């Protein structure tokens, strides 16, 4: 059972984390999360909390942000269908490809020990495969959101 002091401390912690997130200070990406565990440890020590509780707050916040981003992404695709920019079939293909790319994002984390040339070659291969897929399906890569941007492609579609 959590006592009142712990509830206040956890509430303060959530407020601090939310504030940091709003100001963009805690942008922790999948590619650079090396300092993430130490932040959890430091916060737990500073506020006298269990690391598992702090980790749970981080995990919950991360999941909520991911859910919100996914909903915005799907809304933008639905609007593109409504505007006649893509078809419903293309929307479904984009959603499937986006899901696949998210699932395969983890290998990029393990590339820190690779040389710059090896990382570039892997990105180029992924970009070529994705460009081929997009061309085959008549889809502008901008509709893949952050995955297109990750590979150096830019567009005005997602604002």
34-56 pLDDT, tens per residue?
556 688 999 999 999 999 999 99
Question: What contacts 24+ positions apart, CB below 8 Å, involve 33-38?
Answer: 33/109
Rounded to 5 degrees, what are φ and ψ at 80?
A: -65, -35
What gap in Å lies between CA 90 and CA 134, rounded to an integer?
10
Q: Is the pLDDT of residue 19 over 60?
A: no
Using CB atoms within 10 A of its CB, is residue 10 exposed (0-12), middle (13-18) or buried (19+)?
A: middle
Mean pLDDT of the chain: 77
Residue 116 has a pLDDT of 85
Q: What is the pLDDT of residue 101?
A: 86
CA angle 116, 118, 122 (to 5 degrees): 115
Read off the pLDDT band of 145 (50, 70, 90): confident
| Distance, CA of 145 to chain centre | 11
């Amino acid at each position: 059972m959590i006592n009142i002091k712990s509830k206040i401390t956890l509430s303060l912690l959530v407020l601090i984390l939310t504030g940091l997130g709003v100001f963009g200070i805690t942008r922790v990406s999948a590619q650079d999360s090396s300092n993430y565990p130490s932040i959890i440890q430091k916060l737990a020590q500073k506020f006298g909390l269990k690391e598992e509780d702090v980790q749970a707050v981080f995990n919950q916040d991360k999941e909520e942000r991911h859910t919100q981003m996914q909903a915005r992404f799907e809304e933008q695709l639905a609007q593109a269908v409504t505007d006649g920019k893509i078809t419903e079939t293309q929307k479904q293909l984009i959603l499937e490809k986006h899901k696949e790319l998210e699932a395969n994002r983890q290998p990029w984390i393990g590339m820190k020990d690779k040389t710059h040339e090896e990382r570039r070659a892997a990105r180029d291969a992924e970009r070529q495969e994705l460009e081929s897929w997009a061309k085959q399906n008549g889809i502008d890569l901008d509709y893949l959101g952050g995955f297109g941007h990750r590979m150096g492609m830019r567009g005005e579609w997602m604002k």
